[in-house]
Chain A
Amino acid sequence: MRLKIYYVDDEPEILEIFEMLLEGLDVDVKTFVCPQEALRWIEKQPPDLLVLDQRLPGITGCQLAAKVSAAIPKILITGDLVVLHHELFMKVYSKPFCLKDLHNYISQFCAQKRDQRSAS
């Protein structure tokens, strides 16, 4: 089964770029503009990696992360000036982020995940 990656951000252009970035990684990328919709999907089909923007309509990335199972690894991407290192996230990126870095990180994560699966 392919790895599932969800990305929640209220900027559709960023989501588009994200999708384009991960095209070659052989993963299912699903993006959400609406955090509520994202939550429903997460409950139904929990992703292998959840990427969240900090400032979302009506909720912050941190709050959203708190509602989701701690077993799901998460990445926070924020346009805020002060970058919080939060225990809920494995990694925090500040905007504007370097796509190359993000791409490298996610591909490494996926490789590890696949290794774990094949091992188990």
Chain B
Amino acid sequence: MEKELKSEIENQRLKALYELNILDTVCEREFDDITALASTICGMPISLISLVDDNRQWFKSNKGLSVNETARDISFCTHTIRQSDILYVKDAKKDSRFKDNPLVLGDPHIVSYAGVAIKDPEYSLPIGTLCVIDQKVRDLSLEQINSLRALGRQVEKLLELKQKIQCIDREKKQVEVVYSKTNMVLENAMLGSWDWDLTQNIVHFDRRWCDMLGLDVSSVKHELSTWDERVHPEDKEKAYIDIQSHLDGKTSIYENIHRMKHADGRWLWILDRGKVYATDDNGKPIKFSGIHLDITKYKEQEFLFNEVQQIGNIGGWELDVKTSQVKWTEQVYRIYNLPTIIPTHKIMALQFYVPHDRERISHLVERCVLEGQPYRGVFEFIDALGNKKWVESAGKPIYSAEGQVMTLRGTFQDVTEKVNAEKNLEFNRLVAVQNSKMASLGEMSAGIAHEINNPLSIINGAGELMQLKYPESSGLVEKINKSVHRIQKIVNGLRRFSRSAPLSTREVHSLRDIIQEALVIAAIRAKRANVELRVHLDIEGFIFCNPIEIEQALLNLMNNAVDANDSLGDGWVEIKLFEDADEVVVHISDGGCGISKDMADKIYEPFFTTKDVDKGTGLGLSICKGIIDSHEAVIRLKRDSGPTCFEVRFGRIKEPLHAS
């Protein structure tokens, strides 16, 4: 027995056979017809279509044999497939190649054999045979042999046909799989789809597209108006613009978000994306299809997010460390008072902080980038319209996979109201403390005044009696009386601290008198500081006021003026009272070094002070201004003249109606 070497060709032959997917398949009429024909034409009872496998031959069609396969090494067909033409063995018992073959010696006792090789349609390799067999010696005519050859070719054709059908089936199956997969994806993603034939007014909407809008797919009109009628009027123009620019080839993909009306009347937010997928010979688009996604849920969240941002006046930002580009949420734009179309950059964003805080925040951002140090701070800020604001900004680093800070993200909150409220609270607290100090001082001074006034009365009275009884002592008693009056004036000065008179009482008073009262106390301070007081009170200056409050305010201005002189001496304070049209005007000027322009803007702010920390609370001028404002008078710092000069203007009362 010759052992066949498994050559390369044999491997290819087997491969070709297996690709036909024919081994061990059921009987088929087409093949059985051919074996029946071969048997009849050749007049031999047995006919086979035998396919030669690795170590067997298997019969696709079998006429006249009881087995379906036999071992390959004993098969006649193995010989046939090596042959380019027909193998015809007239008497096997006399043929040296076959006389010892078990198929000759035993069942099925082959005597005559004729076979043609069958080649596969793809590679033309011999994969089997069509053969006829008889147990008697048979002569075959040329016609019979040619017929056998022809039938062999028919088998080959049949195989080719079958393979093509298989191929088509496979492709069909693949298409079906792709189709059902696509369908499944669309279904799961809840995507509706549309397909627009641009040459006719046909837009095919699929079932999901219709479901999304609550429409019935069986009755929906497949034309553009179905979509057009449902698009929100405010969104329609932009949608058509986006469609047109895609059709003009300006965009690689059409994308638009618009609202569409659901059959039940509510509005849905639709993300619409599409692409032209076919053009005519001139490149003009003819087919355009796309998908619809219902993004109402996300839009609602976006609205909520936006609203929350607005309520909290808080926005978010993201800084790309490499490009310094900054992304802002809408609220940040709102806080900056900038339109959302403005592109943003780190440098630009920083410009809005006041210089001192710009430096501070730049430093914090830099440290966050370099050291990964998160930050949070409150900064002073001027928006695009020039409004002064306070913002709280926090930032933290976002690391890349390599551990580098690539991005900074953070919040941005307008805390102006909060900061102002805190400042007001602190101001009110200090004013309250001041007031309670004044109140206890008032109580004390009332007590002291009483205690001093009693003995003064005795001294005074005794002096006067002495004068009556001993007229010669008149000169000395005069001195006693003068001194008593001085003490009395000082004690009366304490009245400004006393709150036993209701503060809101306003009457017509002489401003000259009020200034003179204030001067009693101011003079003590001026004398101590070696400051000369130049007083020019040319008029009475009747005004409608609360004299104690006005005295307090003017005394404050006088004290400030005294303090403004430098401590080396030669200082002076000038107090002038005069009339100007319908107004009574007080000027309080000093010989100090003046107030600079940027300080001038701040002097009335609570807590602003140029004095040493323990010397002033910074409340004086702001309280002064409060008092003067409440009297509908005006205080201002005169900047036109040389020395520092505060001017207070009151409305003049012509006749003292009921002077106190």
Contacts and interface: CB of A to CB of B under 8 A. Distances in A.
- Binding site of B, secondary structure by majority: helix, strand, loop or mixed? helix
B529 interface: no
Nearest to B458: A13
Interface in B444-471: 445-446, 449-454, 456-462, 464-465
Given A17-B458, A17-B465, A96-B461, A79 B453 contact: yes
B309 interface: no
A80 interface: yes
A95 B454 contact: yes
B457 A80 contact: no
B455 to A, nearest CB: 8
Contacts of A97: 457, 460-461
A112 to B, nearest CB: 23
B465 A79 contact: no
B450 A14 contact: no
Interface string A84-120: 0000000000111111100000000000000000000
A14 B454 contact: yes
Contacts of B488: 96
Contacts of B450: 55, 79-81
Contacts of B500: 80-82
Nearest to A102: B461
B462 A95 contact: no
Nearest to A77: B457
Contacts of A26: none
A81 B458 contact: no
Contacts of A18: 461
Interface in B466-509: 484, 488, 491-492, 494-495, 498, 500-501
Nearest to A54: B450
B449 A99 contact: no
B498 A82 contact: yes
A100 B449 CA distance: 23
* A11, A13, A98: residue with the most chain B Cβ atoms closer than 10 Å: A13
* B453, B491, B492, B495: residue with the most chain A Cβ atoms closer than 10 Å: B453
A95 B456 contact: yes
* A13, A94, A95, A99: residue with the most chain B Cβ atoms closer than 10 Å: A95
Interface in A52-73: 55
Interface in B415-452: 445-446, 449-452
A17 B462 contact: yes
Interface in B389-426: none
B495 A82 contact: yes
B156 to A, nearest CB: 135
A23 B271 CA distance: 112
Given A55-B450, A79-B449, A82-B500, A99 B461 contact: yes
Contact of B460 (A20, A80, A96): A96
A99 B467 CA distance: 11
Contacts of A25: none
* A13, A81, A82, A94: residue with the most chain B Cβ atoms closer than 10 Å: A81
B492 A96 contact: no
A103 to B, nearest CB: 9
Given A79-B449, A80-B450, A20 B465 contact: yes
Contact of A14 (B457, B484, B492, B494): B457
Interface in A7-57: 11, 13-14, 17-18, 20-21, 55
B419 to A, nearest CB: 42
B449 A80 contact: yes
B464 A99 contact: yes
Nearest to A93: B457
B454 A99 contact: no
A20 B461 CA distance: 10
A79 B464 contact: no
Contacts of A20: 465
A2 B462 CA distance: 26
A96 B498 contact: no
Contacts of B464: 98-100
A8 to B, nearest CB: 14
A83 to B, nearest CB: 10
A105 B500 CA distance: 28
Nearest to B492: A81
A21 B462 CA distance: 10
Nearest to B459: A96
Contact of B498 (A55, A81, A95): A81
Contact of A96 (B446, B451, B456, B465): B456
Contact of A11 (B458, B462, B465): B458
Given A95-B454, A96-B453, A96-B488, A81 B494 contact: yes
A11 to B, nearest CB: 5
B453 A99 contact: no
Given A96-B484, A98-B464, A99-B461, A81 B445 contact: yes
A100 B462 CA distance: 12
A95 B494 CA distance: 15
A110 B459 CA distance: 26
Given A80-B449, A82-B495, A82-B500, A14 B465 contact: no
A21 B491 CA distance: 26
B150 to A, nearest CB: 145
A97 B488 CA distance: 11
Contacts of A96: 453, 456-457, 459-461, 484, 488
A20 B450 CA distance: 23
Given A81-B492, A82-B501, A21 B461 contact: yes
8 contacts: A17-B461, A79-B450, A79-B451, A80-B453, A81-B500, A96-B453, A96-B456, A99-B461
Given A55-B450, A82-B495, 13 more contacts: A14-B457, A79-B453, A79-B454, A79-B457, A80-B500, A81-B446, A81-B498, A82-B446, A82-B500, A96-B456, A96-B457, A96-B460, A97-B457
3 closest Cβ contacts across the A-B interface? Answer: A79-B453, A17-B461, A96-B460
